[in-house]
Amino acid sequence: MKVRFFFILFLAAGCTAIDDSLEKIRADFEVARNHGTPDGDLIALSERCAKLIDLSTDKSQAFEAVHTVCEISKIKPLAEIAAALAKGVDRYVEKFDADDISTWQPVFTFFWYHLRRPPRDVPMERQLQLIDGYKSYLDAIFAHAKTAHLKALALYAKTENRLLFERELGVLTEAERDEAVRDVKMLLKNFGELKRPAKNKPYWEQPYAHYARGQLREIAHLHIGAVAPNIEGKDLDGMPFKLSDYRGRVVVLNFWGAWCVPCIAMIPKEKALVQKYADEPFALIGVNTDPRLETARSAVKEHGVTWRSFWNGPGGWEGNIAYDWFVQGYPMLYVLDTEGRIRFKSRSDEGLEETVELLLTELKSNSH
């Protein structure tokens, strides 16, 4: 049965416009998604979408074909499929309204929510394979696209992909870091004033430069091994303090908010950590991102938080501290050694306690 499907799919790729109707393409896509298909057939399917976009005079039909290529790419991010997407989007914006935000919304959503990182529920080995695939895919988008917006999205997503790798899966090599710097500088130079497309989401409607500069800060100053930037501010009671006041201690820095469900769920683990290392040169410090101090204070009282938090200000997660540290998701955790160097960064507490234990053990060993 599967052999018969592939034969039909092969014929459909070279047949008439009737065989390449949107309905037929969508039906073939559903079979491919649910039952699997060889790479060549996925590529042929994406090329059929690009052909439909080129021939169609119906904007909604062409729009659906763009969306379908994005969905095909989720099955496997092949460079050849990226080329078909670039060709299809270029033709779409040439034929229809390139400034219409609805044109870009599914493409932006695909780049932002899918190409940045692999699914969390797949094994680590598979995540690493997907990350390599995303990199090749995004390189192909940049190489083939003519539309400035699509080139900018490819550069932006590729750098975010690299940074998410370091935040969640490991450490970037020096070569990977250098490549990311080159990509960000290219984005700033050529596409910095373009605004990221995000319908009805004013927070995202900023020029790429706004976020590219943040990416550059993270690459240069917030990587594992770098000395963390100092933070000067006030705690939730209005008392001034500095991150540098805690030099000589192992520090866990956590960006959090009462609005953030995973942040609140992590508090019992943080309390256990504070209790376990109460007699050690250790400190847990928060950066609270609630726009109202009353909300933050209520959360501290309700959940029995005993450690200090900087307040990020009335801007909430858009406040200065989170902006300077380019926080893109919550909670965001850093572990600093006694010299203020970043030794751990992650949106998960997996490996957090082990890192603290290791640093405290190193400190004791060096003191003898």
Domain boundary among the residues 221, 243, 272 is at 221
Better-scored residue on pLDDT, 289 or 100:
289
The two structure tokens encoding residue 301: 């009282």
- Asked whether residue 156 is assigned to any structural domain, the reply reads yes
Residues 210, 290 share a domain:
no
Residue recorded with tokens 């997503």 = 157
Report if residue 227 sits inside a domain: no
Please choose, from the candidates 90, 87, 76, 83, the residue with its C-alpha nearest in 3D space to the C-alpha of residue 39: 76
Q: Would you say residue 202 has pLDDT above 80?
A: no
The confidence band for 161, taking pLDDT boundaries of 50, 70 and 90, is: confident
C-beta separation of 24 from 15 below 8 A = no
On whether both 205 and 292 belong to a single domain, the answer is no
Tell whether 184 and 264 lie within a shared domain: no
Torsion sign (Cα): 55, 59, 60, 65: positive
Q: What is the count of structural domains for the chain? A: 2
**How many CA atoms lie less than 13 Å away from 30 in the CB half-sphere?**
5
Q: Is 177 among the domain residues?
A: yes
**The predicted structure's pLDDT at residue 205:** 66
Query: Residue 345 maps to which CATH number?
Result: 3.40.30.10
Contacts of 325 (CB under 8 A, 6+ apart): 217, 218, 222, 229, 255, 287, 332
Report the largest interatomic distance among the alpha carbons of the chain, rounded to a whole angstrom. 80
What is the rounded CA–CA span in Å between residue 273 and residue 359?
A: 14
DSSP line for 53-118: HHH---HHHHHHHHHHHHHHHHH---HHHHHHHHHHHHHHHHHS-TT-HHHHHHHHHHIIIIITS-
Of 166, 189, 221, the residue at which a domain comes to its end is: 221
Calpha distance 264→224 (Å, rounded): 26
Q: Residue 2 pLDDT > 50, yes or no?
A: no
Domain identity same for 215 and 280: no
Judge whether 76 lies within some domain: yes
* Amino acid found at 342: I
User: Is the pLDDT confidence value at 328 over 80?
Assistant: yes
Q: Are residues 169 and 248 in the same domain?
A: no
Phi, psi (rounded to 5 degrees) for 194? -65, 145
Asked if 217 and 259 sit in the same domain, the reply is no
pLDDT digits (tens, 9 = 90+) for 226-265: 999 999 999 999 999 999 999 999 999 999 999 999 999 9
Structure letter (DSSP) for residue 351: T
- Indicate if the pLDDT at residue 9 is higher than 60: no
Q: pTM of the entire structure?
A: 0.80
Close Cβ partners of 142 (under 8 Å, ≥ 6 residues apart): 151, 154, 155, 158
Q: Among 221, 250, 265, which residue terminates a domain? A: 221
Measured between alpha carbons, how far is residue 217 from residues 242, 264, 322, 324, 325 in Å? 20, 28, 12, 8, 8
Cα-trace Rg, the chain: 24
> What value does the mean pLDDT take over residues 166-172?
72
Residue among 255, 257, 247 nearest 283 (CA): 247
Cβ contact 157:205 at 8 Å: no
Q: Please check whether residues 217 and 249 belong to one and the same domain.
A: no
Residue 15 has pLDDT above 50, yes or no: no
- Mark whether 105 and 135 lie in a shared domain: yes
- Write down the pLDDT at residue 296: 97
* Residue 15, in any domain of the structure: yes
307 within a domain of the structure (yes/no): yes
* 51, 142: one domain: yes
Q: Would you say residue 135 lies in a domain?
A: yes
- Which tokens is 189 given? 């130079």
Task: Kindly state the tokens that stand for 229.
Answer: 């930037």
Q: Which positions ≥6 away from 82 have C-beta within 8 Å?
A: 73, 136, 137, 138, 140, 141, 144
| Phi, psi of 247, deg, nearest 5 | -60, 145
Does residue 256 form part of some domain? yes
Cα separations (Å) of 78 from 136, 140, 161, 274? Answer: 7, 9, 16, 47
pLDDT reported for residue 120: 66
Q: Which position has the higher pLDDT, 18 or 275?
A: 275
12 with 44, same domain? yes
157 and 250 inside one domain: no
Bigger pLDDT: 288 vs 110: 288
Residue 119's domain comprises 2-221
160 and 260 share a domain?
no
What's residue 8's pLDDT?
38
Mean pLDDT of 10-39: 75
Structure tokens, 160:
């975010």
